[in-house]
């Protein structure tokens, strides 16, 4: 075969696609309960949007973007993440002027990152994300975290944990940054060239370097927690209290810095603790991004959100052996015998479908036995048999496959019977 699905992408075949539908439905229902509304943004944006928002020194921007020149010679990038486009849209459509604030949005959209393929890591993956923009109340942080957990809970996952950190405000981050520079500078020649670059531009990024993560200086690096100012500390305490009061347990991890530059204050991840879940255990990542709107030319609009891939959710369900149920059994299979019956059968099929009944028929002119086999395989609850005689009398033979009973009925009777 000459063509294959591109590396890091996958075809989702019918044996799997129903699971995606179930999970997406569950997500939409949960968002509705929390009053988050769907937003859909384009698959590609100006490259500069991601450079600005996510940060030049992040792995996403420096190594993983699918960037191309369009025919107008503009640099465009396939969306690697959802926050920057949503904030762009928030500003562009002046959502800061909407009556209901904060604006609470969600999306289920494909993202693209040129990453090394691995279990749970794809080059195209679908992220469910939420963004609540326009409030700096720790209660909205708690709401967003709770929504993410609720989705996993409704899906049936049990082996998950919430990991929490505070990255502090600007002032705290500057103090921490200075401490990091002082810590790494004397030994920076022992680090990769990326880290050497990061030291000047963004020393925090050294902490999530995939090359140097074993270097002893990583473990002794100054922790952000020690540099939080009073305001940041109070914000974090308020969030922790809200979570605890809602019965949400968490682990604190001062090393959780997240791989995108726009974060401050709250940072969190939800991990799978299921045995047999692959090496990548992060199911969901999110945090607060006060200042991102201003950075992108908008008004002050503090925000918080998260992203979780559907792929990893499904992998976690598999690892925990949570069964998803699929009721895709057919209601009626229309068996026809002969040319005239086939024409009539097709009309019957159309009427059944118009009445909302799941129905199908044979399109390969197969013998009755083969048609009955198909009905069986499709777990059809009913079978109608139409032969010449039935065409003449304008009836069908209706078989109840479970009970093995049979009766002659007219088409209106057929629909009524099946609809129950
Ligand atoms: P992120 O940590 O880059 O954050 O990605 C969030 C989630 O997307 C990950 O936890 C994982 O579930 C999924 N993910 C990321 N990369 C891959 C991949 N290559 N294959 C499969 N799944 C992947 C963000 O993207 C932020 N925009 C999240 C956010 C929204 N923060 C605030 N609002």
Which residues lie below 8 Å from residue 110, measured CB to CB, with a gap of 6+? 43, 79, 124, 125, 126, 127
* Pocket probe mutation, ligand 1, options 128, 263, 268, 285, max atoms within 8 Å of Cβ: 285
Vertex 336: Cα angle to 331 and 342 (nearest 5)? 110
Ligand 1 neighbourhood includes 268 CB (under 6 angstroms): no
Ligand 1 neighbourhood includes 309 CB (under 6 angstroms): yes
Q: Phi and psi of 116, rounded to 5°?
A: -70, 130
Instruction: Report CA(388)–ligand 1 centroid distance (Å).
Output: 60
Burial tier of 316 (Cβ tally within 10 Å: 0-12, 13-18, 19+): buried
Question: Does 325 score more than 90 pLDDT?
Answer: no
Residue 377 falls in which region: left (phi positive, over 0), alpha (psi -120 to 50) or beta = alpha
Confidence of residue 247 (pLDDT cuts 50, 70, 90): very high
Q: Phi and psi of 253, rounded to 5°?
A: -135, 100
Mean pLDDT confidence for 80-94 = 98
Q: How far apart are CA 206 and CA 185, in angstroms?
A: 12
pLDDT at residue 209, rounded to an integer: 86
Which residues lie below 8 Å from residue 51, measured CB to CB, with a gap of 6+? 61
**Hey, whose CA ends up nearest to atom 18 of ligand 1?**
121
Mean pLDDT confidence for 144-151 = 98
* Pocket probe mutation, ligand 1, options 309, 310, 316, max atoms within 8 Å of Cβ: 309
Instruction: Report CA(82)–ligand 1 centroid distance (Å).
Output: 9
Instruction: Report CA(294)–ligand 1 centroid distance (Å).
Output: 23
* Pocket probe mutation, ligand 1, options 81, 123, 266, max atoms within 8 Å of Cβ: 81
pLDDT at residue 359, rounded to an integer: 97
**Hey, whose CA ends up nearest to atom 26 of ligand 1?**
307
What percent of the residues of the chain are helix, what percent strand, and what percent coil, each to the nearest 5?
45, 20, 35
Question: Does 208 score more than 90 pLDDT?
Answer: no
Ligand 1 neighbourhood includes 285 CB (under 6 angstroms): yes
Mean pLDDT confidence for 283-295 = 97
pLDDT at residue 327, rounded to an integer: 83
Q: How far apart are CA 280 and CA 168, in angstroms?
A: 26
Q: Integer distance in angstroms from the first to the last C-alpha of the chain? A: 49
What's the DSSP call for residue 416? H
Ligand 1 neighbourhood includes 122 CB (under 6 angstroms): yes
Range in 270-284, 310-324, 396-410 with the lowest mean pLDDT: 270-284
SS3 state at 270: strand
Question: Does 233 score more than 90 pLDDT?
Answer: yes
Question: Does 274 score more than 90 pLDDT?
Answer: yes
Mean pLDDT confidence for 260-280 = 92
What's the DSSP call for residue 82? S
Confidence of residue 19 (pLDDT cuts 50, 70, 90): very high
Q: Measuring CA to CA, how many Å separate 316 from each of 3, 48, 86, 113, 139? A: 30, 35, 27, 21, 28
Instruction: Report CA(284)–ligand 1 centroid distance (Å).
Output: 6
Which residues lie below 8 Å from residue 333, measured CB to CB, with a gap of 6+? 359, 360, 361, 371, 374, 375, 378, 380, 382, 383, 384
SS3 state at 131: strand
Mean pLDDT confidence for 218-229 = 92
Alpha helices (H) in 55-82, listed in sequence order: 59-63
């Amino acid at each position: 075969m000459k063509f294959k699905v591109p590396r890091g992408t996958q075809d989702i075949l019918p044996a799997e696609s129903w699971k995606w539908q179930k999970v997406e439905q569950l997500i939409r229902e949960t968002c509705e309960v929390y009053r988050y509304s769907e937003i859909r943004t384009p698959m590609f944006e100006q490259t500069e949007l991601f450079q600005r928002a996510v940060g030049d020194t992040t792995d996403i921007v420096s190594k993983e973007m699918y960037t191309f020149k369009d025919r107008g010679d503009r640099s465009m990038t396939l969306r690697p993440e959802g926050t920057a486009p949503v904030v762009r849209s928030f500003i562009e459509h002046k959502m800061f002027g909407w009556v209901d604030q904060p604006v609470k949005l969600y999306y289920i959209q494909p993202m693209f990152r040129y990453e090394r393929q691995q279990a749970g890591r794809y080059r195209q993956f679908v992220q469910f994300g939420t963004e609540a923009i326009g409030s700096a109340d720790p209660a909205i942080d708690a709401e967003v975290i709770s929504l993410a957990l609720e989705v996993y809970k409704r899906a049936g996952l049990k082996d998950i944990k919430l990991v929490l950190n505070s990255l502090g405000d600007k002032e705290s981050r500057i103090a921490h940054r200075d401490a990091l520079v002082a810590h790494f500078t004397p030994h920076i020649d022992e680090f990769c060239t990326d880290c050497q670059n990061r030291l000047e531009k963004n020393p925090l990024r050294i902490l999530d370097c995939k090359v140097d993560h074993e270097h002893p200086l990583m473990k002794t690096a100054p922790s952000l927690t020690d540099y939080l100012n009073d305001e940041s500390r109070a914000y974090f305490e308020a969030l922790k209290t809200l979570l605890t009061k809602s019965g949400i347990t968490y682990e604190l991890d001062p090393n959780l810095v997240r791989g995108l530059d726009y974060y401050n204050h709250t940072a969190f991840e939800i991990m799978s603790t299921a045995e047999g879940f692959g090496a990548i255990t992060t199911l969901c990542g999110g945090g607060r991004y006060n200042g991102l709107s201003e950075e992108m030319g908008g008004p002050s609009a503090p925000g918080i959100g998260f992203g979780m891939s559907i792929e990893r959710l499904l992998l976690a369900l598999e690892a925990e052996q949570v069964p998803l149920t699929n009721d895709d059994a057919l209601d009626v299979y229309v068996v026809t015998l002969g040319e005239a019956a086939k024409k009539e059968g097709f009309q019957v099929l159309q009427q059944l479908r118009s009445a909302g009944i799941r129905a199908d028929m044979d399109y390969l002119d197969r013998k009755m036995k083969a048609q009955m086999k198909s009905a069986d395989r499709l777990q059809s609850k009913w079978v109608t048999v139409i032969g010449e005689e039935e065409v003449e009398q304008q009836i069908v033979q209706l078989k109840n496959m479970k009970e093995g009973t049979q009766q002659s009925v007219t088409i209106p009777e057929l629909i009524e019977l099946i609809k129950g």
